Structure 1
Amino acid sequence: MKRALLGADDIFPADREAPPWPGRSEMLDGSSVFVRETPATAPGAEPALYVHGLGGSSTNWTDLAGLLANRLDGQAIDLPGFGRSEPARSYTVASFADRVIRWIEHSGRGPVHLFGNSLGGAISVRVAGTRPDLVRSLTLVSPAMPFLDPRRSSQSRVLPLLAIPRGDRLAMRFLSRITPEDMANQIIATCFADPTRVSERRRLEAIEEIRIRYELDHYIPAYLRSLRGLVSSFLRAYLPGDGSLWRIAARISAPTLVIGGRQDQLVDIRVAPAVARAVPDSRLLILDQVGHVAQMEVPRVVARAAVALLDEIHHPTARAPRLSRAVRPARRTNPRVAPA
C-alpha cells in the first residue's frame, strides 16, 4: 500500500455544472440496461466504466466523468432495479458483478478503468478480482466492503426491514409520507459531510430523480434486496471459501486507488485502509471533511487522484507534481474489519 498522489488542479476546466450526461437503453441478456455516455474530449482517451452505490444511479458520476473526459471515454451504468435499468431476479453482489462483467464484454470496451462507489465499490472489487482481464485500473470511493459494527452505518436503521415479511410495503408506506424534497435533503445530509457543497441545480436534479423512483413499483424491493445481498456478503466474508470479498480483493492485480471520506456516515472509515492493505498494488487517500460520495462532494480532488493513478500507469517512474495534505497513512490496527 502506498500513499495516493494528486495531479495538478489546473489541468481541469473551470467548474461548470453540466446536466446529466445523455444515455441509452440497450438489451443485455434479455433485460434492458441504461448507460450514460461521457464522450472523450481528447484523442487517445481510454475506456472507463462507473458503477454507482446502493440507491444511486449513473447520475452520481456526472461531475467526475466530465472532469476526466480529457483522459477517459466514460460510461456510467445503472445497476438492475436502479436508475432507468429494468429490475432483476437477483440482487446479490455476485449477480451485480456478473451484470457489470457482461456489460463490459457486450460493449467490447475492455479492459476498462473501473470506478465504484459504496455498493458499486464492492461490486467492482469482485469484478476486478475475478476478471482481471477486463480491468485496467480500479478506483474505489468509500467501498462497502464487510465490516462488523452496524452502528458505524446510518443504514442500520433500515436493517430491521430485511427481517420483516413484506418489509417493502412498510417502506413504501413510510416513503409516501415523505416528500421528494424532504427525502433529497435527508439523503444529502447523510451522504455529504458538508451539504452546502450541493448546488441548487444538483439538489433539484436529486428531487426529480427521487420523484421518478416513487413512481416505480420495483424500486423499494430492489433497494431492500440489494441491501440484503450486501449484508449477506458481509457475513460470508467470515466463512471459509473463495466467496469472501476480502479474499477476492487480495487477488486484484490492477493498480488500485482507494478513497475514503473521514466523515462517512455509511461505511466505517476504517474500511478504506483495510481495503488498501488487502489489494496488492494499492494507493490510499483519506479526505478530511468529506462524506460518503467524494466523487460528488469534491469531484476535482477525486479527479486529481485518478489522473495521478493514470499517469503512474503510463509513466511508472514519474511522480505527480503535488501531494495533498488530505492524504493520510493508514493505521495498522483495524479490529472490527474482516481480515483479508
Structure 2
Amino acid sequence: MKRAILGSDDVLPADLLPPPWPGRLVRLDGSLVHVRDTPATSGDAEPALYLHGLAGSAQNWTDLAGLLAGRLAGQAIDLPGFGLSEPARRYTVPAFADLVVRWIEHSDRGPVHLFGNSLGGAVAVRVAALRPELVRTLTLISPALPFLDARRSLQGRMLPVLVIPRGERLVAWRLARLAPEVMAEQVMAACVADLSRIGEQRRQEALAEIRLRYEVEHHAAAYLRTFRGIVSSFLRSYLPGAESLWRQAAAVRAPTLVVGGRRDRLVDVRVAPQAARVIPDSRLLMLDAGHVAQMELPRTVARAVLGLLDDVAGVRRVE
C-alpha cells in the first residue's frame, strides 16, 4: 500500500457544474440497461466505466466524470433495478458483476479504467479479480467490502427487515409515508458529511431521482433484495471458498486507488484502509468526507485519479 499521489489541479477544467450527461437505453441480454456517456475532451482519452452504489444511479458520477474527461471517455451505467434500468431476476454482487463484464464485452471498450462506489466497489473488485484482462486500473470509493459490526453502518438497522416475509412491502409502505423531499434530505444526510458542499442543482437532481423511485413498482424490491445480496456476500467472505470478496480483493492485480471517507456513515471507516492493505498494488486516500466522496469532493478525488493514471504511465505530478 502506498499513499495516494494528487495530480496537478491546473490540468483539471475550471470549476464546472455540468448537467447529467445524456443517457440511452441499451438492450443487453434481453433487458434494457441505461447508460450515460461522458464525452472525452481529448483525442487520446482512454475508456472508463463508473458503477454506483445501492439505490444510487449513474448521476452520482456526473462531476467526477466531467473533471476527468480530458483523460477518460466515461460511461456510467444504472445497475439493474436502479435509475432508469429495468429490474433484474437476481440482485447479488456476482449477478451485477456478470452484467458489468457483459457490458464491457458488448461495448467493446475494454480494458477500462473501472470505478466503483459502495456496492459498485464490491462489484468492481469481483470484476477486476475474475476478469483482469478487462480492467486497466481500479478506483474504489467507500467500497462495500465485508465488515461484521452492524453498528458501524446506518444500514444496520435494516437487517431485521431481511428476515420478514415480503419485506419489500414494508419498505414500500415506509417509502409511501415519507414525502420525496423528506426522503431526499435523509438520503443526503446519510451519504454526505458536509451538505454545504452539495449545490442546489445536485440537490434538485437527487430529489428528481427520489421521485422516480416513487413511480416505479420494482424499486422497493430491488433495494431490499440488493441489500440482502450485499449482506450475503459479507457473510460468505468469512467462510472458506473462492467467493470471499476479501480473497478476491487480494487477487486484484490492477493498479488501484482506494478512497475512504473519515465520516462515512454507511460503510465501516476501517474498510478502505483494509482494502488498500489487501490489494497488492494499491494507493490510499482518506478524506474528510462521507460515503460519496466523488460527489462531495470531486476535484480532490479527480486529482487522486490523475495521480494514479500518471503513476501507471510513469509520470509524476505532485502537489
**CA shift for structure 1 position 10:** 1.6
* 1:29 match: 29
**CA shift for structure 1 position 218:** 0.5
1:319 is aligned, of 307, 316, 319, to: 316
Q: Secondary structure at the match of 2:202?
A: helix
**CA shift for structure 1 position 320:** 2.4
Give the distance between the partners of 1:244 and 1:45, measured in 2 at CA.
34
Give the distance between the partners of 1:116 and 1:50, measured in 2 at CA.
6
Structure 1 stretch 167-176 or stretch 80-89: which is displaced more?
167-176
Give the distance between the partners of 1:134 and 1:265, measured in 2 at CA.
32
Q: Secondary structure at the match of 1:5?
A: coil
Structure 2: 5+ residue stretches without partners:
none
- Matching residue's letter, 2:155: Q
* 1:237 match: 237
Superposed counterparts of 1:1-340, under 5 Å: 1-288=1-288, 290-315=289-314, 318-322=315-319
Give the distance between the partners of 2:3 and 2:34, measured in 1 at CA.
35
Superimposed CA distance per residue, residues 303-323 of structure 1 (whole angstroms, 9 cap, x where no aligned partner):
0000010111111xx43221x
Structure 1: 5+ residue stretches without partners:
323-340
Q: Secondary structure at the match of 2:74?
A: strand
Identity %: 67
Give the distance between the partners of 1:240 and 1:156, measured in 2 at CA.
24
Q: Secondary structure at the match of 1:159?
A: helix
Structure with more of its chain in helix, by fraction: 2
**CA shift for structure 1 position 159:** 1.5
* 1:325 match: none
Superimposed CA distance per residue, residues 90-137 of structure 1 (whole angstroms, 9 cap, x where no aligned partner):
011000000000000000000000000000000000000000000000
Give the distance between the partners of 2:309 and 2:63, measured in 1 at CA.
18
**CA shift for structure 1 position 166:** 1.3
Q: Secondary structure at the match of 1:158?
A: helix
- Matching residue's letter, 1:226: T
Give the distance between the partners of 2:52 and 2:318, measured in 1 at CA.
30
Superimposed CA distance per residue, residues 193-214 of structure 1 (whole angstroms, 9 cap, x where no aligned partner):
1011111111111111110111
Give the distance between the partners of 2:174 and 2:318, measured in 1 at CA.
51
**CA shift for structure 1 position 14:** 1.6
Q: TM-score, normalised by structure 1?
A: 0.93
**CA shift for structure 1 position 147:** 0.2
**CA shift for structure 1 position 47:** 0.1
Q: Secondary structure at the match of 1:185?
A: helix
TM-align CA RMSD: 0.7
Count of residues in correspondence between the two structures: 319
Give the distance between the partners of 1:15 and 1:218, measured in 2 at CA.
37
